Copies of this chain bind each other. A is one copy, B any other.
């Protein structure tokens, strides 16, 4: 029987069956491959969202060390400075972060709290932490880490609500810090596997 293309129900049916078989067969391989590739370049794997909520010298380090390390690995990083963490990005703030030698029996040189709470012990502990621990072992000071983060493209966002509550103006912050709310952080964090509250 010769095929009359004007009555093409036969070839139609034939094509339909072949196509179906072929699609199903190739499909599983190709889609599986593409999905595997897609997960490999999962965009959420290249983003890190950090909240910096502490304003002591010791807890100012983790957000900046993690952010600079991730940015150096080519990642997109945002730090949201909120509550006490805002101190880190106040003009002149980084140099004056302190650490109180009380209430933390896990400190490298633990002091009895009754000594730690004496006047002068907070500056003393801060000085010790800076000179005997960080500088002596070539850990950059906070102000250098801030600059390094910025040079690597880490985005700094200051919490609007904290600024309002503490009476801090945008001009009180170091250059390059944007101002935003919780929604700003959430929008970015939603796209990142790594989100850390520090």
Binding site for B on A (CB under 8 A): 1-6, 8, 10-12, 14-16, 18-20, 22-24, 26-28, 30-32, 34-35, 38-39, 42-46, 48-49, 51, 53-56, 58-59, 61-62, 65-66, 69-70, 73, 75, 82-84, 87, 97-100, 102-108, 112-114, 116-119, 121-122, 126, 133-134, 137, 139, 161, 164-166, 181-183, 185-186, 189-198
Given A12-B14, A23-B27, A61-B83, output 15 extra A-B contacts at Cβ < 8 Å: A1-B5, A3-B4, A3-B5, A44-B44, A48-B189, A51-B62, A62-B197, A100-B102, A105-B126, A113-B118, A114-B118, A137-B161, A189-B193, A190-B194, A192-B194
Q: Is the CB of A22 within 8 A of B16?
A: yes
Q: Which chain B residues border A45 with CB–CB below 8 Å? A: 190-191
22 contacts between A and B (CB under 8 A): A1-B6, A2-B4, A12-B14, A16-B22, A28-B34, A31-B31, A32-B34, A46-B190, A51-B196, A53-B62, A55-B106, A56-B105, A62-B197, A65-B182, A87-B106, A97-B106, A99-B105, A100-B102, A102-B113, A191-B193, A195-B195, A196-B196
